[in-house]
Structure 1
């Protein structure tokens, strides 16, 4: 296990900057997710940590030791790729043992480590099968087994669940988190799936355009987003954003409220309310989404019981003032505010 410190990291391809002055400090044994849209630089950062990409400026330290000039084999890391990268002509046993054989580890130690990895991942009955005879989830477990078999200091995972179906993804993320807790290993997990990041991580590094937007615990990122990008990227459906002056507030502010906090009005005079026209009702299992046209802006709310509601009818939706988030219209940064102050400046429209 290792702590990781990244300071002032810059990465360019030619004249095009990809990572811009990143600073991160990852504790020993933490499970960290790099989260962001495609092209934000999260995989590039992972490959810089792995030594597969050279950095232009800055430093990367493992337990205080500078490793930027070391090759991948010298960093004691393991990398799990999106496409498994198993050797099709080898059995599961030989795939897991391969990194140890490359290091010329003795046969007895290899046998012991392979047995240990197979036991941890539930692969004992599959050791003599070829990868072609395995399901997607089983192949992913073999890839993880090959990664952990030599006890790396850091386990790096580049969107390892993206090729799996929805139910198997849920199962595998539970297995990965259990494994990380059991081994106490430092894990960096790259994903564009916010649900995966929220469920798995001790902390999430949200990235956009090569810039770190926020690095905090999952509920901190969800409840107190650093800026409008983070607020819009985290949470499904996306947070509603409305111009401040539309809500009776300052024109240089943007008001954000999540759909799960907006519900058909129940007459609570102490709530933030929006009046508009119901455009669409979307069933979503235990609740339903309501799309409401508010002065030309589509606002999404949620409702448990839509009886009595119909598209085209007027509707008022409301949320508590403590559910509002206020952002600067120019910079997008969240503006800390007291809810009493918000309540006094924003009124129902």
Structure 2
């Protein structure tokens, strides 16, 4: 296990700057996710930490020890990739044992570590099978077993669940989180899936264009987004964004409110009200989503019972004041309204 300190990290390819003077501090034993759209630099940052990419400037420290100039093997890290990268001619046992064999560890220790990894991941009955005889989830567990077998200081995972079907992804998320807690490992997990990041992480680094937009606990990122981009990227359905002037606020601001915080109004009270035409009712189990056109803008709201709500009818929606978020129209910077309205 190790803490990680990244200071002023820059990475460019020719004339294209990929990572722009990043600063991050990761605690020993934390589960951190790098989250963002394709091309934001999250995998590049992971590979810089792993030593697979050279950095142009800045420093990387493990437990306050400078490791920027060290190769991947000298950093005591383990990587799990999206495609598993298992050796097809080796059994599960051979794949898990391979890193220890490369380090010329004695056979008794190898047997002990392989048995421990197999037991931890529920692979005991599969040790003599080839990867071609395994399901996608089993292959992923073997890849994780190969990564943890030599007790790395940091486990780095690059979109490891993206090749799995939806139900298997959910099960593997639980397995990975359980494993991290049991082993108290420092884990960095790269994903473009916000749900994965929210469920798994102690903290999330939300990235865009090579810059960390916000680095905070999942619910802080969700309820207190740093800017317009973070607010729109986190949350499903996406946050509603409207000209603040529709609610009597400054016209230079954008008002953001999440669909779950907008509901049909039953009575007057605090907060803001929107009146528009109901376009569509979408049932999703216990929650029903309402698409409402308000001043030429589509607003998504929620309700528990859509009885009596007919498309084409007028509807008034209400959002409590505490659920409103405001952003500058141009820069997208967050504006706190305590001294505004």
Report the TM-score, using the length of structure 1 for normalisation. 0.96
Q: Distance in 2 between matches of 1:42 and 1:241?
A: 26
Give the corresponding residue for 1:287: 287
Give the corresponding residue for 2:70: 70
- The 5 Å alignment of 1:23-62 reads 23-62=23-62
Q: CA deviation at 1:246?
A: 2.0
What is the RMSD computed on CA atoms of the aligned residues? Answer: 0.9
Give the corresponding residue for 1:169: 169
Helix, strand or coil: the match of 1:6?
strand
Helix, strand or coil: the match of 1:206?
strand
- The 5 Å alignment of 1:1-349 reads 1-338=1-338, 345=341
Q: CA deviation at 1:330?
A: 2.0
Query: Structure 2: 5+ residue runs without aligned partners?
Result: none
Helix, strand or coil: the match of 1:9?
strand
**Residue deviations 1:191-249 (CA, integer Å, cap 9, x gap):** 01111101110000000011110000111111110001000001000000111222211
Helix, strand or coil: the match of 1:190?
strand
Q: Distance in 1 between matches of 2:257 and 2:176?
A: 33
Helix, strand or coil: the match of 1:11?
strand
Q: Distance in 2 between matches of 1:271 and 1:327?
A: 18
Q: Distance in 1 between matches of 2:286 and 2:99?
A: 48
Query: Structure 1: 5+ residue runs without aligned partners?
Result: none
Q: CA deviation at 1:66?
A: 1.0
Q: CA deviation at 1:54?
A: 0.6
Helix, strand or coil: the match of 1:83?
coil
Q: CA deviation at 1:133?
A: 0.8
Aligned length: 341
Q: Distance in 2 between matches of 1:266 and 1:145?
A: 55
Q: CA deviation at 1:268?
A: 3.2
Helix, strand or coil: the match of 1:283?
strand
Helix, strand or coil: the match of 1:279?
strand
After the TM superposition, which parts of structure 1 deviate over 6 Å for at least 4 consecutive aligned residues? Answer: none
Q: CA deviation at 1:269?
A: 2.1
Q: Distance in 2 between matches of 1:310 and 1:36?
A: 38
Q: Distance in 2 between matches of 1:326 and 1:266?
A: 25
Q: Distance in 2 between matches of 1:65 and 1:334?
A: 36
**Residue deviations 1:284-303 (CA, integer Å, cap 9, x gap):** 12111111100100010011
Q: Distance in 2 between matches of 1:137 and 1:241?
A: 39
Q: CA deviation at 1:271?
A: 2.9
**Residue deviations 1:58-93 (CA, integer Å, cap 9, x gap):** 111111111111111110000000000001110000
